[in-house]
């Protein structure tokens, strides 16, 4: 077992994956100070694979995704370091016109809030068709035909009749389908779904997750699913990257992570799920609050909340240790965590 510093190639990335993010660092320069929103993120996804990115709000999940897509607001954002390799090419070094081609055709993204991501003043069919007009130079008529096809494919009932309707005329679930239609229009190899079902009812969530799984099976896309829902992750993920305070704190296969978490934060999250055999008892709760990016704890960002904390945790930032092939944990005491002896 080797200790690898986050600056170098580290635990959790198999070499040569379809999309590899390595030690990405993004800052926001604000009046209140510099926020290191993404502070060493390393993860990867392959064709046909589902990577779940798990973490509470503010942990840097969306900023990482926006940086991959090249839609980060710069300024106030600033990419300070790291690489984003797509088919081996570092996207951060590409000129903007080549980058634009990757967006949509190589990597596409859907967002939590479909209503604000869609343009309210254009019919949904027109918005889907525009992908084909802009990227494929299709005629209006052909593009519209493709739009109807796509609306059918994402199972919007009576697609032909609804192609000229506006976003507000659709329910939340249907709008999310329209966004999915737009995102898969150009057959991307990687789809990033940023909390695609967080705003939806469980019944509609089940429909959308089933649709995504089906599209993935058909086209063998790599899927990066950003979520804070431990149920959704257990249901669909092949592997998981857990984020805390802008960093990856654990990388693991779905079965390893749920069976035996290697980071105290992951362990705490899993223990705080209400379980029927614990009904009537106090829930396990991680104490304290998520860190303030402008006032991060020294050493390990999780140390004020951690039941495993020792002196070293307050002084030294834990690197992302490689536990085995694709498993990593950014905890000095991952061995003790795996063995389950809290202090």
Ligand X SMILES: Nc1ncnc2c1ncn2[C@@H]1O[C@H](COP(=O)(O)OP(=O)(O)O)[C@@H](O)[C@H]1O
Residues 6+ apart with CB under 8 A from 301: 244, 245, 246, 247, 291
Q: Which does 309 bind (CB under 5 to 8 A by kind): ligand X, ligand SF4, other proteins, none?
A: ligand SF4
Is residue 123 within 8 Å of residue 163, measured between CB atoms? Answer: yes
Residue 312 C-beta: closest distance to other proteins, Å: 23
Q: Do strands 239-244 and 50-54 pair parallel, antiparallel, or not at all (unpaired)?
A: parallel
Residues in the chain: 343
Candidates 66-74, 105-113, 181-189, 263-271 — which segment interacts with other proteins by CB under 8 A?
263-271
The contact mask relative to Mg ion for 34-73 (x = CB under 5 A, - = no) is: ----------------------------x-----------
Q: How far is CA 279 from the centre of its chain?
A: 32
- Of 10 and 62, nearer to ligand X (C-beta) is 62
Distance CA 222, CA 87 (A): 12
Helices 172-184, 124-136: axis angle to 10 degrees equals 10
Residue 82's binding partner out of ligand X, ligand SF4, Mg ion, none, with CB under 5 to 8 Å set by partner kind: none
CA distance 196 to 198: 6
Encoded tokens for 167: 């976003």
302 binds, among Mg ion, ligand SF4, ligand X, none (CB under 5 to 8 A by kind): ligand SF4
Phi, psi at 204, each rounded to 5°: -75, -35
User: At closest approach, how far in Å is the CB of 279 from other proteins?
Assistant: 6
Q: Which residues bind ligand X (CB under 6 A)?
A: 28, 30, 35, 37, 55, 57-63, 73, 76, 293
What is the Rg, in whole angstroms, of the alpha carbon atoms belonging to the chain? 21
DSSP state of 44: E
Residue whose CB is less far from ligand X, 21 or 63: 63
**If contact means CB under 5 to 8 A according to the sort of partner, which of Mg ion, ligand SF4, other proteins, none does residue 303 touch?**
ligand SF4
- Interacting residues toward ligand SF4 by CB under 6 A: 264, 300, 302-303, 306, 308-309, 313, 318, 331-333
Residue 127 · residue 119 · CB < 8 Å: yes
Residue number, 211 or 286, with CB nearest to ligand SF4: 286
Q: Which two tokens stand for residue 329?
A: 């944990």
Contact between 161 and other proteins by CB under 8 A: the answer reads no
Candidate ranges 42-50, 109-117, 135-143, 196-204; the one touching other proteins (CB under 8 A)? 196-204
Q: Which residue is nearest to Mg ion (CB)?
A: 62
Q: How many helices (H) and strands (E) does the chain have?
A: 13, 12
Which residues contact Mg ion (rule: CB under 5 A)? 62
| Residue ranges in contact with other proteins by CB under 8 A | 56-57, 157, 171, 173-174, 201-207, 209-210, 228-235, 237, 254-255, 258, 268-270, 272-276, 278-279, 282-287, 289-290
């Amino acid at each position: 077992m080797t200790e690898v510093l986050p600056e170098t190639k580290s635990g959790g990335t198999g070499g040569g994956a379809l999309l590899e993010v390595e030690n990405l660092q993004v800052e926001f320069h604000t009046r209140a100070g510099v926020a290191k929103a993404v502070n060493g993120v390393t993860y990867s996804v392959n064709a046909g694979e589902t990577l779940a990115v798990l973490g509470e709000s503010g942990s840097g999940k969306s900023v990482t995704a926006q940086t991959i897509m090249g839609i980060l607001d710069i300024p106030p954002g600033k990419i300070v370091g790291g690489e984003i390799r797509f088919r081996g090419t570092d996207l951060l070094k590409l000129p903007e016109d080549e980058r634009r081609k990757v967006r949509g055709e190589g990597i596409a993204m859907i967002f939590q809030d479909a209503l604000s991501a869609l343009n309210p003043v254009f019919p949904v069919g027109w918005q889907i068709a525009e992908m084909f007009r802009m990227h494929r130079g299709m005629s209006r008529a052909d593009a519209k035909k493709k739009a109807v096809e796509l609306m059918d494919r994402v199972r919007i009932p009576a697609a032909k009749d609804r192609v000229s309707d506006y976003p507000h005329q659709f329910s939340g679930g249907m709008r999310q389908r329209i966004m999915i239609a737009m995102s898969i229009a150009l057959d991307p190899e990687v789809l990033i779904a940023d909390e695609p079902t967080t705003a939806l009812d469980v019944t509609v969530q089940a429909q959308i997750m089933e649709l995504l799984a089906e599209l993935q099976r058909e086209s063998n896309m790599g899927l990066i699913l950003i979520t804070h829902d431990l149920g959704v992750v257990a249901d669909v993920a092949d592997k998981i990257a857990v984020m805390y305070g802008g960093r990856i704190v654990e990388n693991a296969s779905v079965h390893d992570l749920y069976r035996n978490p290697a980071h105290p934060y992951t362990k705490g999250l899993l223990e705080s799920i209400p379980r029927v055999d614990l009904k009537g008892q106090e829930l396990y709760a991680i104490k304290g609050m998520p860190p303030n990016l402008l006032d991060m704890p020294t050493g390990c960002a999780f140390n004020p909340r951690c039941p495993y904390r020792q002196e070293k945790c307050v002084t030294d930032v834990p690197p992302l240790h490689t536990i085995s092939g694709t498993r990593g944990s950014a905890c000095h005491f991952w061995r003790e965590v795996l063995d389950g002896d809290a202090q």
